Amino acid sequence: MKKIIDVLPLAIFIGLVVVLFSFLSEKDDQLETVLIDSSFPEFSLKALSDDSRILSKDDISDLPALINVWATWCIACRVEHPFLMKLKEESILKIYGLNYKDDKNKALELLKRDGNPFEFSIYDFEGRLAIDLGVYGAPETFFIDKRGVIRERHVGVIDEKVWETKFAKYLDE
Amino acid sequence: MNRLILLALLFFSIGSISSNDEKIIFNNDAYPFESETKELLFYSLLIELRCPKCQSSNLSGSNSPISNDLKREVYELVLEGNSSEQIKSHLVKRYGNFIIYNPPVEPATYVLWFGPFILVFIASLIILVIRKRVTK
């Protein structure tokens, strides 16, 4: 008994060090997603390509679909751009863009130069729909199922691996 | 005794830093208010709410684009006459408990809330046992 008490403080201390140290390498800066399983929020925003076109939730009609938050200032978005193009070219599902706090001309230019994987892009300069989606950066990708319900969210670059592990399963439902 | 005084001073020093904080951000014309209660609510919320991007600073201490958007959101909600609780739950619904520094007591946060007390309890037990042995 005495022996145990003697080493207990040291054991607890070492235990704490190990636990806390393991958290250090785990670079998890992703917030929880509260919106999973709730329906896509209502919005009313202009289209990126056409000032006179006001988009709403009803325009995201070809479901299931991905909503991809992107911007020209976001370097990681360029990394995932070819993958989004691939999803479009292989007609796997529709992708709708949410152009986030961006310069409109630069955004249009990029789509023209690198290709446009989106059915349309919502122009959210003020970040209004983004707040309703709990977006805190770009890129972010949401999966909307047939009923218009958010099923999955990915913060960061979406690629083949992320698609396979996180999103593909919802497509077969 | 001296130690107790030092400990008390330590606590008071933390209190004075946060009240300074409030003074610095007041007198800001960027968000005009007609009522003082609403203004107070707005600035107290900026101190209470956390910036989702920068993680270790509150909205008032951050100038990142997302923080400025959220300040605008809070500003509009305050102007509409929402209460502090309503505004917080509005944001928690979108960003999760992360956004408030005061996480609710629920199974996921039990360790956070009760862990320190358990550690103090274990430590005092150990100290007691060792002391008893020494006096023997």
Closest CB to B129 among A5, A33, A101 = A5
Subunit contact A127:B69, Cβ cutoff 8 A: yes
Q: Is B73 near chain A, with CB under 8 Å? A: yes
CA-nearest residue of chain B to A4?
Answer: B126
User: pLDDT of A93-121, one tens digit each?
Assistant: 999 999 999 999 999 999 999 999 999 99
User: pLDDT of B66-100, one tens digit each?
Assistant: 888 999 999 999 999 999 999 999 999 898 888 88
Domain boundary assignment for chain A: 30-171
Low-confidence stretches of chain B (pLDDT beneath 70)? 1, 7-29, 55, 136
CA-nearest residue of chain B to A132?
Answer: B94
Using DSSP bridges, classify how beta strands A65-70 and A121-124 pair: parallel, antiparallel or unpaired.
Answer: unpaired
Give the amino acid at A6: D
Q: Is B94 near chain A, with CB under 8 Å? A: yes
List of chain B residues whose C-beta atoms are within 8 Å of the C-beta of residue A2: 133
CA-nearest residue of chain A to B97?
Answer: A32
Give the amino acid at B6: L
Using DSSP bridges, classify how beta strands A121-124 and A94-100 pair: parallel, antiparallel or unpaired.
Answer: parallel
According to the model, what pLDDT value does residue B53 have? 82
Query: What CATH code is assigned to A30-171?
Result: 3.40.30.10
User: pLDDT of A122-160, one tens digit each?
Assistant: 999 999 999 999 998 889 999 999 999 999 999 889 999
pTM summary value: 0.76
* Interface predicted TM-score (ipTM) over 0.85: no
Subunit contact B52:A136, Cβ cutoff 8 A: yes
Query: A129: closest CA among B99, B94, B46, B67?
Result: B94
Nearest-Cα distance to chain B for A33, in Å, is 7
> DSSP label at B109?
G
